[in-house]
Chains A and B, each alone.
Chain A
Amino acid sequence: MSRNEPAITPQLVAEHGLKPDEYDRILKLVGRVPTFTELGIFSAMWNEHCSYKSSRLHLRGLPTKAPWVIQGPGENAGVIDIGDGMACVFKMESHNHPSFIEPYQGATTGVGGILRDVFTMGARPVACLNLLRFGSPDHPRTRGLVAGVVAGIGGYGNSFGVPTVGGSVGFHTRYDGNILVNAMAVGIARADSIFYSAASGVGRPIVYLGSKTGRDGIHGATMASAEFDANSDEKRPTVQVGDPFSEKLLLEACLEIMGKGCVIAIQDMGAAGLTSSAVEMGAKGNLGIELDLDAVPCREEGMTAYEMMLSESQERMLMVLDPAREAEAEAIFRKWGLDFAIVGRTTDTKRFVVKHGGEIKADLPIKELGDEAPLYDRPWVATPPKPVVDAASVAPPVSNRAALLKLIGSPDLSSKRWVWEQYDHLILGNTVQQPGGDAAVIRLGDGPKGLALCTDVTQRYCDADPVEGGKQAVAEAWRNLTAVGARPLALTDNLNFGNPEKPEAMGQFVGCVRGIGEAARALDFPIVSGNVSLYNETQGRGIPPTPSIGGVGIVDDVTKIATLSFKAAGESIVLIGATRGWLGQSCYLADICGREEGAPPPVDLAAERSAGDLVRQLIGAGHATAVHDLSDGGLAVALAEMAIAGGVGATIEAISGLPAHAWLFGEDQGRYLVTARPDEAARILDEATKAGVEARIIGATGGDSLTLPGEAPILIADLGAAHEAWFPEYMASVR
């Protein structure tokens, strides 16, 4: 076999992130000592990021099917049927580790990677979203990370030409050493022309497309499968560099040759680059793959087989082409100025053979590379339940008026305008609901149909009770889609957790996945794609469990969506859903009382479903003039957001049997605010009674202030100023 490669030593094996028992497994599989290139291939295929070795066992229990699901997890992205012969292709993926080391490039390549996943399947991307978590605003690195990540997300999406229409931004000190950058992309394709990664046919050419291969990102996926230590900055060379211009060309070229029917199979080169894309195509197609690395377009001279197989250079694709259409496909790629090279062929050997400079650098069984990856049933312990906080025992430290002004301008609840104004959210001319609503809504073509899109998770709930927190993340996404009038169809999950080798962190993962499964099942909201990011720990300190949920719903007529702004004075405000005044793990308890305590609000999935179905029906029938779901900060914050957005005030009544602060700031789940003309409001209460949903009129719109029970009015202008001030002031303050 190969000359001029380092000898395999236990130390070299350990440096590749492979445990001794994993190496023994390799010896058994290969039947000899692997070559250096082979060791690299195993490290790329068997790290946590690519093999899901700690998570696979638990993910199996998630609901992934429904009559409208065309493709569930296991391909580049999930695919659902949205009617009229069209399909929606979407996925969310993390780029946490790289973004912490190099925020701009880490974020750009996160966006680039997820866009590639979507258009690899033959879909034209129509929207991007994201979910970002940063450390405490007081941490010295936070400001720079926010600036870099936001600029990076914009830098890629804006140039690529897809609107970034929604997202979620939050802060917590437990992300100080591990920020989260989760990017979601959504595309549209014809339901009968979805492209998959399984190769077929023996002796067919394997074509390399896109940018050249360089030394960037080598072992990126391995980095993403380990904890950070104090020297994590030294890992900067493992971060890839994004080139949205090349990706835009790759998109247009790929869609053009797909449209001409030249493509048999296609796989993008993401994590673990050429290695995982080639293995995936062969293994899924029950074929062998032979690669000739001498044909790979390289950016640098003298690259070794090992480097080429592990490079994570961006904007690259691997395809199996119809041999008869090769010249046609090549002409299209040349037109777009992209590299096009035949780098191998399919074989019937089920072996993965890599040749370079006349030598065989690797010769491995292709199925086993994936199928025989380690699978761990990691020991885990359930998170101990937290006591329920009795609202009556929480003494309000300030007036409810002052509490609202503080919450509406707090880092987590303040307006994120500073962020989303750096994203082109208007390109393509179909953004019907722009950032700032419960869910983004984009029109499909010339309408009337559209998609509703959102990203959600409440990590403090997940930390206190992973099962309830997992349920809540799914329920909130479902609720946000419902609040614009959409029918929720499916979700993508991006599971961000700490070190799975620690039973507590593994227990958080197991609990959240259980909760996600329960909610997805109860709400008919299947999981069609996802990504797991573990080892989000620095110096032994893990992030709060953060299972991000990206939701997709269908809107039958975009002219009839609901928005959250108060529309006119003299309308009744109806609260749908039950209020018990749940203060445990609320924003009020954390930000006003300084107590991150208690059990999170439970999610009653049956009640969630009936309340949501009622709200959707009210919107469809045109009874609701405004709709907003209740989440962080509870009733008072939701009212303030509606008042600010509409420039119309409101007066709210007290409720008997609950302390005012629990009424106003409790975070009971499954609730919505709906406004309607008074006569319509009476009808809404009847409808609610019929549906078995709790509903009550809690006040009326009007005036220039929001008046909470027993408090002096707060001018909308003051609420708006507090809401808009925090982010720009924070980012402009001395760093």
Chain B
Amino acid sequence: MNAAVILFPGSNREGDVARALRQATGRAPTIVWHAETALPPGVDLVVLPGGFSYGDYLRCGAIAGRAPIMDAVRAHAARGGLVLGICNGFQILCEGGLLPGVLMRNRDLRFICKMQHLRVERADTRFTTAYGSGDVVKVAIAHGEGNYETDEDTLKRIEGEGRVAFRYCDAAGVVGGAANPNGSTNDIAGVYSEKFNVLGLMPHPENLIDPLVGGIDGRGMFASLAAA
């Protein structure tokens, strides 16, 4: 698994995801500067990390979605290459046209950082083979704008095509209600592209890779990718 992490000005969880990738694959990912126009040769996985790219001024992810490197990322995705966008990376994927929908401000209009349970909707994608379908995993969330919205038709389509990757739930796996931290439509925490090679999610599996720091439920995603 050759991974590249895109570094935008204002990215701030690139080190966290690099650590998770290193742990799972045994090798450090290449860090790619946003102003580059090509990915390093032989890259299998491109990661857009969390943070506040370009300060998230204008709209979250809007400027980064149009950064020079993003044409190369779109081409990589079009070739079927793996792309993972976490938090700000998810926002960038939506703004960059790689995933449908948009991330609005949280329902309570506050930034929220806490541990959150997710239900793994399917375990047959290259991001989730190490999990079981319906598994409940604990990860971290840390965002002010994670309230996923789409128009009705798109929602029907992504639900119909099984493209919801994770839903917010409580520790017992019950989806929705108070377990939804940000007001996301259908409790959606992450979505796939049509071909399931692009995943965007708001939570941070990369911060749950260590029993000493919250737990290890996030390892599954990186283990899945390492085996992909």
Q: Which of A's residues lie within 8 Å of B, judged by CB?
A: 151, 154-155, 158-161, 243-246, 248-249, 336-337, 420-432, 443, 447, 558-559
Contact = CB atoms under 8 A, between A and B. Distances in A.
A151 B50 CA distance: 19
A443 B144 CA distance: 26
A421 B56 contact: no
Contact of B113 (A151, A246, A424): A424
A244 B52 contact: yes
Given A426-B140, A429-B19, A336 B9 contact: yes
Contacts of B55: 159, 243-246
Interface in B178-215: 204, 206-207, 209-210, 212-214
B9 A427 contact: no
B138 to A, nearest CB: 12
Contacts of B51: 159, 161
Interface in B132-164: 140, 142, 144
Given A244-B55, A426-B207, A161 B12 contact: yes
B114 interface: yes
A447 B19 CA distance: 14
B52 A337 contact: no
Interface of B: 9-10, 12-13, 15-16, 19, 50-52, 54-57, 110-114, 140, 142, 144, 204, 206-207, 209-210, 212-214
Closest 3 pairs (CB-CB, A-B): A161-B12, A245-B55, A159-B52
A90 to B, nearest CB: 20
11 contacts: A151-B111, A155-B111, A158-B111, A159-B51, A245-B52, A245-B54, A421-B112, A426-B142, A428-B15, A429-B206, A430-B213
Most interface-central of A161, A249, A429 (chain B CB within 10 A): A429
A245 B57 contact: yes
Nearest to A243: B55
A248 B10 contact: yes
Contact of B111 (A243, A244, A424, A428): A424
A429 B15 CA distance: 9
A426 B214 contact: yes
Contacts of A249: 9-10
B212 A154 contact: no
Nearest to A150: B110
A154 B207 CA distance: 19
A248 B111 contact: no
B54 A558 contact: no
B57 to A, nearest CB: 7
Contact of A429 (B10, B57, B112, B213): B213
B117 to A, nearest CB: 15
Nearest to B14: A161
Nearest to B109: A151
Contacts of A430: 213
Nearest to B55: A245
A443 B214 CA distance: 13
B10 A423 contact: no
Contacts of B206: 429
B10 A159 contact: yes
A403 B93 CA distance: 53
B140 A337 contact: no
B214 to A, nearest CB: 7
Nearest to B16: A429
A154 B213 contact: no
Contacts of B19: 429
A427 B142 contact: yes
A151 B110 contact: yes
A249 B214 CA distance: 29
Nearest to B110: A422
B191 to A, nearest CB: 23
Given A248-B9, A424-B142, A432 B212 contact: yes
B140 to A, nearest CB: 5
Contacts of A160: 12
Nearest to B19: A429
A428 B16 contact: yes
Contacts of A336: 9
Contacts of A248: 9-10, 12, 52
A423 B113 contact: yes
A427 B88 CA distance: 13
Contacts of B15: 428
Nearest to B52: A159
B212 A558 contact: yes
A100 B204 CA distance: 35
B143 to A, nearest CB: 9
A422 B141 CA distance: 11
Nearest to A446: B19
Contacts of A425: 113
A169 to B, nearest CB: 16
A429 B16 CA distance: 6
A161 B213 contact: no
B202 to A, nearest CB: 13
B168 to A, nearest CB: 15
B56 to A, nearest CB: 7
Nearest to A561: B212
A159 B113 contact: no
Contact of B212 (A244, A426, A559): A559
